[in-house]
Structure 1
């Protein structure tokens, strides 16, 4: 689908595409309640809405919220888009499916930037500032039989994500993997990532993983 992607809003890339493929494999009955956390342009929210789901999308960026709303209007799809910090705006709600492509790139700064393009990918030293919160908070919002689909880099500790989700009572496994060449962000951080032991000196590709976690019925 054609999307408006203004500067400052994360443009759908390989991680979005990998998560969209995992979404296509899910049974999403008409009327299912779906949450898209960190929606950006709204690409994944719109993909779910096209299947007849009732979709809520969240982003902390006002520009992303406005972009996703406009993309939904242009597509003629009823997506509710709200501004907020990850799952905070929907606390106490219940969903059949939660999607998330959060910031997950390890960064030199311990705290994420408040402004600028890097806000869409920087996630602290281990890349888990946002992933960790999703693994902790999303299970509370899943209905019995509900599913979380979460994409992030293998640099950001997928084994830790699996442990955290299983500790929350979910059945979790890696549902999909993809490999892409290092983009400009990782290339610029190669020396630092190597020093942190996150990559090998000769490494040139990044592994992406989609984690699927299901609340037992």
Structure 2
């Protein structure tokens, strides 16, 4: 969204119409990590897979120069509207992951990608499910972020990423370290199964991703910093 015409910043809850990922526990967990990050005013921030734009708006409220990206036109429109309602400037672009910002660099990258293991082939689904389904191991988008995000970070720049323990946080940390960043899990939270996990609970247990005694899902935030 262009900064022209933006008025007073307002604390409003983001709207999320049908088909746009609404802020949930993973959004809240990542927002907490964002609030703890010592981001300087006017820092360049990228929110990839922005959905409703909740995290982009949170970063913009801190005075950051924020770009938000989503593959869904509906999400793009929603993020623009939520930034307008909050009275903050956010540049919103439609595209696949980092495609719209090739050649740019950022002080902070935020990512809440699809990470839920799902039955079926290796391709991402269409419709609302593409906000959470990410192939049999949940890593279709996570692995791309691990490969591509470090190249977008400025020296000292940080990636904050949220995912499920079902999709291999240790793999994410290992890949990001191999890419030259200092990476570690910085936040954890156990949450009750939502509708998606309840619907495929039997499949997840059959694959060994859930133990018989597991009745909650663990979410983690991974922080990766590019050394100066």
Do the two structures share a fold, i.e. TM-score over 0.5? yes
Give 3-state SS (helix, strand or coil) of 1:40's partner. coil
Hey, which bits of structure 1, 4+ residues long, moved more than 2 A?
Answer: none
CA distance in structure 2 between the partners assigned to 1:90 and 1:21 by the alignment: 25
Q: 1:210 — aligned with what?
A: 221
Match of 1:39 among 4, 27, 50: 50
Tell me if 1:112 matches 2:147: no
**Aligned alpha-carbon RMSD (Å):** 0.7
Match of 2:142 among 119, 125, 131: 131
Gapped runs of 5+ residues in structure 1? none
CA distance in structure 1 between the partners assigned to 2:65 and 2:45 by the alignment: 6
Gapped runs of 5+ residues in structure 2? 1-11
Tell me if 1:24 matches 2:24: no
Give 3-state SS (helix, strand or coil) of 2:39's partner. coil
CA distance in structure 2 between the partners assigned to 1:188 and 1:2 by the alignment: 28
Q: 2:15, 2:22 within 8 Å by CA — same for their partners in 1?
A: no
Per-residue deviation, residues 80-116 of structure 1 (Å, max 9, x unmatched): 00000011111111000000000100000222112x2
Q: 2:66 — aligned with what?
A: 55
Q: 1:74 — aligned with what?
A: 85
State TM-score, norm by structure 1.
Answer: 0.98
State TM-score, norm by structure 2.
Answer: 0.93
Q: 2:8 — aligned with what?
A: none
Tell me if 1:175 matches 2:222: no
